[in-house]
Amino acid sequence: IFIMHLQEFVTVLVRDPRTQKEDSWHSYIDYEIFIHTNSICFTRKTSCVRRRFREFVWLRQRLQSNAVLIQLPELPSKTPFFNMNNPHHVDHRRQGLQEFLEK
């Protein structure tokens, strides 16, 4: 009998930043969060959702309040000089969000 053991994996990608307009004065950027896995812990093997930066802040705060003894990874800094029209700023934040979710 040949038994093949596949190692489980979970891949998380933060990609496809898009500018969303709330009204004529306010807009924000959201990011696609894509998950692909073969883990038996997940019923769906792929999943995709869009989230904005402040939802990551909320998530980190909730996780920190429930995991007092665990040091959570930091989010990219929320700089007052963040320019959503600057591709470098947007990609730097995307990379930081990716690192946060990977850890």
- What CATH number has the domain bearing residue 98? 3.30.1520.10
The tokens describing 20, both together, are 């969303």
| Assigned domain for 1 exists | no
Q: Tell me how many domains the chain contains.
A: 1
| Assigned domain for 2 exists | no
- 34/1: higher pLDDT: 34
| Assigned domain for 3 exists | no
- 100/80: higher pLDDT: 100
pTM above 0.85, yes or no: no
| Assigned domain for 4 exists | no
- Helix and strand numbers, DSSP H then E, in the chain: 2, 3
| Assigned domain for 81 exists | yes
Domain that holds residue 46: 10-102
DSSP 3-state of 103: coil
Residues 14/32, Cβ–Cβ less than 8 Å: yes
Query: Which H/E stretch holds residue 48?
Result: strand 46-52
Residue 78 DSSP symbol: -
